Structure 1
């Protein structure tokens, strides 16, 4: 059983990542049932879905017992402490009914929690509900080990879904000369995502560079005001929140993907952009170097400084062959590292270890 945010909502990191997990399990020939515990836009999406999940999980456990099948609960945890609490109660409930529960940690807020002594205590108490913990990258595994957790740890990165795998097989060509170069920044526009830093770097970039900012969030009005104050409105397009069709179009028409975030547990946007053959410009922070290989898939800057960001972008603007080489490598990298079939088998091993 997989529990997590309903992908139908289309909003949030887990909602975007779960289709890849479903595809991975199908590729590995592992049967599963999905039970939503949260919906970003539905009425009662936070609490009603959570309460309904207990009944659905209980029914699935009884059904598995009657058919003499093994069942494991695979819980995808995102958001803040409240979301973690909801998933913790579900894990306790499952284990009380004899069902092992693995927790897949998706939230960057967990890193903030583990940075404080009290936060480590809170995390480890809540993690007692799980049979094991699954993390997205080696950086996360090291962080968990330093936190003092005694739970078995498995590295399970977000897999590409079928659509992104197919796209990653299609080479992207980079023209030697273009009149306009499009930089795409696509994310929730909130603290730590680095959108403001991209705007501050734009004045240092050639006039041929245009910035597309896709997404919404609490900081959107602030970002728009800053663009206006810098007199950059003619060089910046705001698309607002985009659906999957719009996202595909934006990625197809972009030349560089730029997201200097210090608030991502993994960054689905990175592997989606790399699947499209886009070179990445990002921040060398936390788990990002595990996802984006510096100087191979793109350029990672060491500090969140607008001039450094501009220098990295200019390097790619001035060298089309470098953009092409990094984009080519990025496509190979995501197919090697985040292929659904491979990750599906790793999920199977992790679930078998606790069943």
Structure 2
């Protein structure tokens, strides 16, 4: 039935988590682009005319699809999707609220009373709420009101699963390469990672490679200062902006592990992408990460902000090649069993079947 569903979310070429999920839907489930309606094109100002026309179109000529799946994040994304849901309700169309967004819980908890009312209304009028991790379902059930909404937990699919895990048995003397991909700033923990890497004691050469956007210049300044101090100790930090998703995915297998010491993470698609290639990961117990990463098997988790624990995790995986290889293989196997397209499709089809 998925081929009959209309999806509303950001444009497919927008940089971001929801867009990458929707792109994976087109690849894995063979969905045509006509099934996707864009409500945002990457710029708030430039999106206003497009969004206004979309709302008018939904009111005058709503989709013929039996269900509309609205992919929702926090802040501006929520308000756009709330207005879209009002348009659909006025035309008697049923919608599924598919919730994404690492800071959605925070938005719910800190919003003014009137906004909390909008949020509750949005979910209460939905035919179903899809959460990507169990902890989000538990939170919303408490926030919206116990037993009011119908929920289903369906993880995001990984459209880049390798046929076999990467070979992490690098040539003798090559540096262990640590990958970070995310927005440069406090929330993703990049500054914690820089401090832990600087203080870590490695018995092999190690390189920390950072990719992202945000506070780029600040991160570059720290890296330049630290690289000057490292001198001949075998450590190196490189800082880059975003690369295209295709280029990034091709690069992953050239690294040995991924570190994402985030303070707020709903799902952590970069974790799944790395695990799906056979890389072990280091991350935190924040949000839905413990659901995605099996601590001690696929990688190492620690409490966000615990710098000694992050340093210890780096030292363990950098200094122990056998452990890296063991966890990398386990991570790849775990992804194939939980986040493969076929598995996720079964979950989605189950949701649609309940709403027939």
* TM-score normalized by the length of structure 1: 0.87
Q: Distance in 2 between matches of 1:272 and 1:282?
A: 14
Matched, 1:89 2:89: no
Matched, 1:75 2:53: no
Q: Which has the higher contact order (CA 8 A, sep 6+)?
A: 1
1:57: how far off?
4.2
Change (3 A) 1:45 1:5: farther
SS in 1 for 2:47: coil
SS in 2 for 1:114: helix
- Is the 2:262–2:304 Cα contact (8 Å) retained in structure 1? no
Q: Which residue of 1 aligns with 2:212?
A: 215
Q: Which residue of 1 aligns with 2:18?
A: 14
1:318: how far off?
1.8
- Is the 2:197–2:314 Cα contact (8 Å) retained in structure 1? no
1:274: how far off?
0.5
- Is the 1:92–1:130 Cα contact (8 Å) retained in structure 2? no
Q: Which residue of 1 aligns with 2:233?
A: none
Q: Which residue of 1 aligns with 2:345?
A: 344
Q: Distance in 2 between matches of 1:233 and 1:3?
A: 49
1:13: how far off?
0.9
- Is the 1:194–1:262 Cα contact (8 Å) retained in structure 2? yes
Q: Distance in 2 between matches of 1:58 and 1:116?
A: 32
Segments of structure 1 that go 5 or more residues without pairing to the other structure are 65-69
Aligned 1:311-330 pairs, distance under 5 A: 311-330=312-331
User: 1:192-251: per-residue Cα shift (whole Å, max 9, x none)?
Assistant: 11111110111223261111100111x222222222343458711112111023202331
Query: 178, 188, 191: which one pairs with 2:186?
Result: 191
Q: Which residue of 1 aligns with 2:129?
A: 133
Q: Distance in 1 between matches of 2:228 and 2:338?
A: 38
Q: Distance in 2 between matches of 1:349 and 1:25?
A: 15
1:127: how far off?
2.7
Q: Distance in 1 between matches of 2:59 and 2:333?
A: 42
Segments of structure 2 that go 5 or more residues without pairing to the other structure are 1-5, 231-235
Q: Which residue of 1 aligns with 2:52?
A: 51
Q: Which residue of 2 aligns with 1:67?
A: none
Change (3 A) 1:91 1:59: same
1:122: how far off?
4.8
* TM-score normalized by the length of structure 2: 0.87
- Is the 1:105–1:136 Cα contact (8 Å) retained in structure 2? yes
- Is the 1:21–1:344 Cα contact (8 Å) retained in structure 2? no
Q: Which residue of 2 aligns with 1:40?
A: 42
Change (3 A) 1:159 1:353: same
Matched, 1:102 2:102: no
Q: Distance in 2 between matches of 1:56 and 1:349?
A: 30
Change (3 A) 1:225 1:154: same
SS in 2 for 1:7: coil
Query: 182, 195, 203: which one pairs with 2:198?
Result: 203
CA RMSD of aligned residues (A): 2.5
Q: Distance in 2 between matches of 1:354 and 1:316?
A: 46
| Alignment length (residue pairs) | 339
Q: Distance in 2 between matches of 1:114 and 1:54?
A: 24
Change (3 A) 1:303 1:35: closer
Q: Which residue of 2 aligns with 1:142?
A: 138
Change (3 A) 1:56 1:333: farther
- Is the 2:261–2:304 Cα contact (8 Å) retained in structure 1? no
Change (3 A) 1:193 1:233: farther
- Is the 1:186–1:269 Cα contact (8 Å) retained in structure 2? yes
Matched, 1:160 2:158: yes
User: 1:99-145: per-residue Cα shift (whole Å, max 9, x none)?
Assistant: 21011111122110233484754521343442321111111111112
